[in-house]
């Protein structure tokens, strides 16, 4: 899923990219015992990864990212996916942003 936000002139001012967690499938297929393949299939079917989200600097702080994330959550909840997750580098300090959108944000180095 790739969603964009446009301003009144039709310019793209924000975007979000979310979808299946392909790397889980790829990693398990490379290792290949049956149990890992089953785990990978389950992960592929029921997990959604937030691959990226960005808003044009002059449109930040107006709720654009919140609106984009709400659309992603609505769509994947309807489709029966269990978990939406993502990651960011600890230096970016986006914990409060994601907490405000309802995500649990574990500390650096801590599994979710």
Binding site for ligand COA (CB under 6 A): 53-55, 60-66, 88, 92, 94, 96-97, 100
Q: Please, what is the minimum distance in Å from the beta carbon of residue 26 to ligand COA? A: 21
To the nearest whole angstrom, how small is the minimum distance from the Cβ of residue 38 to ligand COA? 30
Q: Which is nearer to ligand COA, 40 or 68 (CB)?
A: 68
Closest CB 42 distance from ligand COA, rounded Å:
25
- Cα→Cα distances 50→30, 32, 33, 34, 62, Å: 23, 26, 28, 27, 21
Beta carbon of residue 14, minimum distance to ligand COA (angstroms, whole number): 6
Look-up of token digits 């808003």: 55
Q: Are 82 and 47 in contact (CB under 8 A)?
A: yes
Nearer to ligand COA, 33 or 61 (CB): 61
String of b and e for 79-89 (b: at least 16 CB within 10 Å)?
eebeebebeee
Centroid of chain to Cα 78 = 16
Q: Indicate the residue among 44 and 103 with the shorter CB distance to ligand COA.
A: 103
Measured from the CB atom, the residue of 17 and 81 that comes closer to ligand COA is 17
């Amino acid at each position: 899923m790739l969603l964009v936000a446009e301003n009144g002139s039709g310019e793209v001012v924000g975007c979000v990219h979310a979808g299946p967690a392909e790397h889980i499938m790829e990693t398990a297929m490379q290792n290949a015992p049956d149990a890992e393949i089953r785990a990978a299939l389950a992960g592929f079917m029921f997990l959604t990864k937030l691959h990226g989200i960005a808003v044009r600097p002059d449109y930040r702080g107006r709720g654009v990212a919140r609106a984009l994330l709400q659309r992603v959550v609505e769509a994947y909840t309807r489709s029966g996916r269990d978990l939406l997750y993502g990651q960011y580098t600890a230096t970016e300090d986006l914990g409060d942003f994601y907490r405000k959108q309802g995500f649990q944000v574990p500390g650096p180095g801590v599994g979710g």
